[in-house]
Amino acid sequence: MRNSEQDNQILLEKIREYWNERIHDLEVATHPVGTEGFFEDLASYRFEKLHYLPEVVDFSGYRGKKILEIGCGAGIDLIRFAQGGARVTGVDLSETAIELAKKYFAYKQIKGELKVMNGEALAFKDGEFDMVYAHGVLQYTADAQKMAGEAFRVLKPGGRFIGMVYNRHGWLNVMSRFFKVGLEHEDAPVLDKYTIRELRGLLSQFSKVRIVPERFPVKSRLHGGLKGLLFNTLFVGAFNALPRSWVRKSGWHLMVFAEK
């Protein structure tokens, strides 16, 4: 554990405040926050940038199953599980995130339980869920070990955990240091990066832990100027011309699939 219980609570409040102010990927939206177009903007950007995601996460493979998403944000992934027939619950520390997710589900007329809740202290019974999903969340919380323990606890025996953390040895971390370009949410109260070994350690309670580095360079809509041009033309092309097997370990996202 990183801190005393009291320090942990203080840090969690800072994390809540931060995410109440900063909606993930907000800068790509052209429609006003909370409108139907806003959610479509977020979804189209997400699946353009993370085109690997539907290839490795079977959003429609959980029909009738109970899924919990920890740190669901505006619900962009959670709604896909629900559209695939899963019974979904999404929790997030941020009130803003949950308000937005509720609007998104309402626009789509899809059922889902959405609650403000700390993923380090889940108000669910042991063994309630078939699958727990946490994409881009463990690295932003105060005590990732606690969150991983809670994910384990609320899973049924044989249940699945799917998560994503940032790769300390990933290309984007190296690039950002080299070119002095800030990472997304670098100003967040917590932003941890993991090696594959550290991630295995974090999830040591689970069995059959499989870690797959993903998220290789794609053209960025966000970076302009000379750096943006060089990145989009030279770097993205050159990197993606290399055989994946050579560069696989440098994927920026460590996707993890584990079983209880």
Ligand X SMILES: C[S@@+](CC[C@H](N)C(=O)[O-])C[C@H]1O[C@@H](n2cnc3c(N)ncnc32)[C@H](O)[C@@H]1O
Binding of ligand X by 73 (CB under 6 A): yes
* Cβ 229 to ligand X shortest distance, Å: 27
24 binding ligand X? (CB under 6 A): yes
Q: Is residue 120 a contact point for ligand X (CB under 6 A)? A: yes
Q: At its nearest, how many Å lie between ligand X and the CB of residue 126? A: 18
| Residue 160 binds ligand X, judged by CB under 6 A | no
User: Whole-number minimum distance, CB 226 to ligand X, in Å?
Assistant: 28
Q: Tell me how far apart the alpha carbons of residues 234 and 11 are, in angstroms, rounded to a whole number.
A: 40
Q: Among 29, 57, 70, 258, which residue interacts with ligand X (rule: CB under 6 A)?
A: 70
Q: How many CA atoms lie within 13 A of 244 on its CB side?
A: 7
136 is an interface residue for ligand X by CB under 6 A: yes
Task: Say whether residue 19 binds ligand X (CB under 6 A).
Answer: yes
Cα–Cα–Cα angle for 220, 225, 231, rounded to 5 degrees: 45
The CA distance from 12 to 190, in Å, is 9
DSSP 233: I
Tally of CA atoms within 13 A in the half-sphere of 205 that contains its CB? 18
Rounded to the nearest whole angstrom, what is the least distance from the CB of residue 117 to ligand X in the complex?
Answer: 6
Shortest Cβ 166–ligand X spacing (Å): 10
Kindly list the distances between the CA atom of residue 256 and the CA atoms of 33, 102, 211, in Å, as whole numbers in the listed order: 31, 27, 4
130 binds ligand X (CB under 6 A): no
HEC string of 65-129 equals CEEEEECCCCCCCHHHHHHCCCEEEEEECCHHHHHHHHHHHHHHCCCCEEEECCCCCCCCCCCCE
Examine residue 15 and tell whether it contacts ligand X (CB under 6 A).
Answer: yes
Q: Interaction with ligand X in 43-62: which residues (CB under 6 A)? A: none
Binding-site member from 92, 130, 150, 214 for ligand X (CB under 6 A):
92
Helix H or strand E encompassing 132: strand 129-135
90 binds ligand X (CB under 6 A): no
Q: Which residues bind ligand X (CB under 6 A)?
A: 12, 15, 19, 24, 70-73, 76, 91-94, 97, 118-120, 135-137, 140-141
